Structure 1
Amino acid sequence: MTRILIVTPNWIGDCVAAQPLFMRLAQRRPDAVIDALAPPWVAPALQAMPQIRKVISNPFGHGAFDPVGRWKLARSLAGEYDEAYVLPNSWKSALIPLFAGIPVRVGFVGEARYGVINRAHCLDKQALPLQVERYAQLAEAPGQALQRPLPNPELAREPAAIAATLAKYGLAAEPRPVVFCPGAEYGPAKRWPEKHYAELARRLASQGQPVWILGSKKDAPVSAAIVQQSGGAALDLCGRTSLGEAISLIAHARYAVTNDSGLMHVAAALGTPLVALFGSSSPNYTPPLSEQAAVIWLKLPCSPCFKRECPLGHLDCLNKITPDSVEEQARKLLAQGGHA
């Protein structure tokens, strides 16, 4: 039996994008057990992956060093694993597998990690344009080409978990909702305007279609603005649900409308039909990996700029995506056999 530890990224979407790596490792070594060392806020996404046996809490947030704390955690893992896959590129993210004495430590060279990583890959961004491909490359021997095609991420959600979440919040199971995910941790240049979400919510409500808004506490000002501008046409659940509960509600949705965010990748991996809205970022790098996903990206000359805020001050890349176009894409998805 091969015991594998995955040091995961700190972001939900990145963890979902890493699942094809876990799938490939499990396929090639059926006797392997795979555990994840992950921040607590991404753990529910990993727990929904059949390939992951357990999640070990990684308390060191982005930017935190704490060498003593890392040493103590590493020593608690000593002797437990044969291989480690370090997905973040930072030097400090590779220290725990080193301190734990894990014999094989796999990752990209990153921040001068020679020796810290001892099965080192050099990243060829042109050969591996997608983030999901870059993670999956680590399953190959260094220098060996990625074996394609890759499987899409697939999160599992039990009907009992969905029913329990609906009951906890007093939500009706039917009709299934349209879920809005209007947040974007990276910044406002990735957020479709609140006025557009509000207009779409009003239209859906006039058709008798429930609309639920999901996101973190940080997204609460955005969701509150949507509710206010829509005249109460949407139910605001931002900051009220855990990530695990949000996953259940997205799994239950008729379809989702999302910015380029972690919950976009969750919806795709659940197989929920979704309309994904891209502005400052690019679906050529982090697309929703699902046959039930429609991407709207205007491809303006100024995008993708990958900025947190629009450097030109107009945010045309998202302002010019109309509620009409989103509604049209949703209709096409459902006509092709989505959850509806």
Structure 2
Amino acid sequence: MSLKTAIRTNTFLKKMAQGIEKGARRGMTALVTKCLQKNDTVEIDSLNGPIKILLVRPNYRIGNALIMSPIIETFRQRFPEAQIDLLTTDNTQTLFRHQRVDHLLTLSRDAITRPWRFPAMLRRLRKEKYDLAVQAGPSSLTGLIFARCIKSRYTMGKGKRGQHWFDIEVNGEQAHAYDIPQMFARALGTPCRDRPLMTLSNGERSIGRGELEELGIDFDDTGRATPFVALFVGGHLDKRLPLSFWQESIDALESAGQRYVVFVGPEELRHADTLEQRVSAGQYGALCRPRPLRTFAAMLHHARYMISPDSGPLHIGAALDVPVMALVQKRKSLKFVPRGPADIVLWQPEARQLLEAVIRPEQFQGRRTQEPPEPGTNSTMAGALASR
């Protein structure tokens, strides 16, 4: 097992690595922002015609990368003749396939151990002579460095703590992660989708159908799948649910005759055999081991509901307009769960609550609850809660 895999799959090592990373990032942010000069305010109307725009969001997490995806279409509507490029990562670039960007530029996570790649990318971007560099993720130190250091004519973004780091400042209060694209849309004076966006081709949908048919999911003559729910067994650190919860949920779905597919991510592959034994004992489910990201998305596209902890695949479901059922363990997740009218939030759920929501989703959709219960108690909530 490689060191990277060991850190990713071990909670203690992952938390320790994150602590080191956060500390280093805070120090670097303080150093970088101390050197940044305050910019004079520029109106967005100063930009017209066939300009060159770079959207900067080099984040390696699927969910964080997808959250900014509506910004692409927002800029395309505001500047239809512009060249719009996106700086992302090799881990997340596939999420933006078929979207209206002209060029996808990527950073590799290996650049952390090969720091000379950063200056090389900066030089490459400077040669493009962009008219506008946009920091699409307000919390990204890497994004801030690239947006400010590629020497574009103007910069755009949302500063922190009242600091003005950009020529075109994006303003507004953020109560939910999905509010960020809305802030950019208001600054541009264009409409914006209220959830992430991921686009599949007809060919990819067909591949997803084929994969599901191999798992026993039937399709009718119109191409519609037999209704099934998708369960993603995964999540990040303390957002995960225990293996016993998924086993009990499988039993509950089987007892009610509900069709389901259990998807196992790379970090949860060690549980695959145990879960497969549980699924094989029933007659309504199937287990899917890790697939390429877009194949997984193409399979998920056909689901009736996507059920997952706060995770990247949860946002993939939202981006495909599949109703999602978020299994929330921590209060901090409430700022990230999708908030569409058909989306459901279950607070520290038990298997029986998951089954109730699957059978009668209309009873759980669109509710508003100001606060989750005190730790140690269970309750059901739906929607984006107070921020919805």
Shift of 1:80: 5.3
Shift of 1:14: 1.6
Hey, what does 2:88 align to over in structure 1? 38
Alpha-carbon distance between aligned partners in 1 of 2:329 and 2:53, rounded to the nearest angstrom: 37
Q: Does the 8 Å contact 1:6/1:35 carry over to 2? A: yes
Alpha-carbon distance between aligned partners in 1 of 2:170 and 2:207, rounded to the nearest angstrom: 45
Alpha-carbon distance between aligned partners in 1 of 2:102 and 2:216, rounded to the nearest angstrom: 33
Q: Secondary structure at the match of 1:292?
A: coil
**1:94 maps onto 2:137 in alignment:** no
2:268 to 207, 216, 219: 219
Shift of 1:289: 3.6
Shift of 1:51: 3.6
Alpha-carbon distance between aligned partners in 2 of 1:36 and 1:278, rounded to the nearest angstrom: 31
**1:79 maps onto 2:125 in alignment:** no
Q: TM-score, normalised by structure 1?
A: 0.75
Taking structure 1 as reference, are residues 15 and 289 closer, same or farther at Cα in structure 2, changes over 3 Å only?
A: farther
Q: Secondary structure at the match of 1:37?
A: strand
Alpha-carbon distance between aligned partners in 2 of 1:329 and 1:149, rounded to the nearest angstrom: 30
Q: TM-score, normalised by structure 2?
A: 0.67
Alpha-carbon distance between aligned partners in 2 of 1:232 and 1:102, rounded to the nearest angstrom: 60
Alpha-carbon distance between aligned partners in 1 of 2:146 and 2:234, rounded to the nearest angstrom: 32
Alpha-carbon distance between aligned partners in 1 of 2:86 and 2:276, rounded to the nearest angstrom: 37
Shift of 1:98: 4.3
Alpha-carbon distance between aligned partners in 2 of 1:284 and 1:119, rounded to the nearest angstrom: 32
Hey, what does 1:247 align to over in structure 2? 297
Higher mean displacement: 158-167 or 200-209: 200-209
Hey, what does 1:309 align to over in structure 2? none
Hey, what does 1:236 align to over in structure 2? 287
Alpha-carbon distance between aligned partners in 2 of 1:224 and 1:107, rounded to the nearest angstrom: 46
- The Cα offsets for residues 95-127 of structure 1, whole Å up to 9 and x where unpaired, read as 33444332222233359997xx53364876xx2
Q: Does the 8 Å contact 2:318/2:324 carry over to 1? A: yes
Q: Does the 8 Å contact 2:63/2:315 carry over to 1? A: yes
Hey, what does 1:183 align to over in structure 2? 234
Amino acid across the alignment from 2:175: P
Structure 1: gaps (5+ residues) = 298-317
Q: Does the 8 Å contact 2:304/2:322 carry over to 1? A: yes
Shift of 1:199: 2.2
Taking structure 1 as reference, are residues 173 and 206 closer, same or farther at Cα in structure 2, changes over 3 Å only?
A: same
Alpha-carbon distance between aligned partners in 2 of 1:199 and 1:280, rounded to the nearest angstrom: 21
- The Cα offsets for residues 147-171 of structure 1, whole Å up to 9 and x where unpaired, read as 9986333322233212224435734
**1:160 maps onto 2:181 in alignment:** no
Q: Secondary structure at the match of 1:214?
A: strand
Alpha-carbon distance between aligned partners in 2 of 1:11 and 1:236, rounded to the nearest angstrom: 24
Alpha-carbon distance between aligned partners in 1 of 2:324 and 2:186, rounded to the nearest angstrom: 32
Matched residue count: 303
2:176 to 123, 127, 130: 130
Q: What fraction of aligned residue pairs are identical, expressed as a percent?
A: 18
Alpha-carbon distance between aligned partners in 1 of 2:169 and 2:263, rounded to the nearest angstrom: 38
Amino acid across the alignment from 1:250: L
Taking structure 1 as reference, are residues 168 and 331 closer, same or farther at Cα in structure 2, changes over 3 Å only?
A: closer
Q: Secondary structure at the match of 1:212?
A: strand
**1:268 maps onto 2:318 in alignment:** yes
Q: Secondary structure at the match of 1:41?
A: coil
Q: Does the 8 Å contact 2:170/2:183 carry over to 1? A: no
- The Cα offsets for residues 227-248 of structure 1, whole Å up to 9 and x where unpaired, read as 3455555533233x01111111
- The Cα offsets for residues 243-293 of structure 1, whole Å up to 9 and x where unpaired, read as 111111110112221111111111122121222111114454112143221
Q: Does the 8 Å contact 2:56/2:136 carry over to 1? A: yes
Higher mean displacement: 259-268 or 77-86: 77-86
Alpha-carbon distance between aligned partners in 1 of 2:352 and 2:260, rounded to the nearest angstrom: 17
Alpha-carbon distance between aligned partners in 2 of 1:196 and 1:68, rounded to the nearest angstrom: 45
Q: Does the 8 Å contact 2:158/2:170 carry over to 1? A: yes
Amino acid across the alignment from 1:118: F
Shift of 1:205: 3.8
Kindly indicate which of the two structures has a greater share of residues assigned to helix.
Answer: 2
Alpha-carbon distance between aligned partners in 2 of 1:238 and 1:113, rounded to the nearest angstrom: 46
Quote the RMSD (CA, aligned, Å): 3.5
Q: Secondary structure at the match of 2:128?
A: coil
Taking structure 1 as reference, are residues 128 and 93 closer, same or farther at Cα in structure 2, changes over 3 Å only?
A: closer
Hey, what does 2:359 align to over in structure 1? 331
Shift of 1:84: 1.8
Q: Does the 8 Å contact 1:91/1:110 carry over to 2? A: no
Alpha-carbon distance between aligned partners in 2 of 1:112 and 1:336, rounded to the nearest angstrom: 39
Hey, what does 1:3 align to over in structure 2? 52
Larger Rg: 2
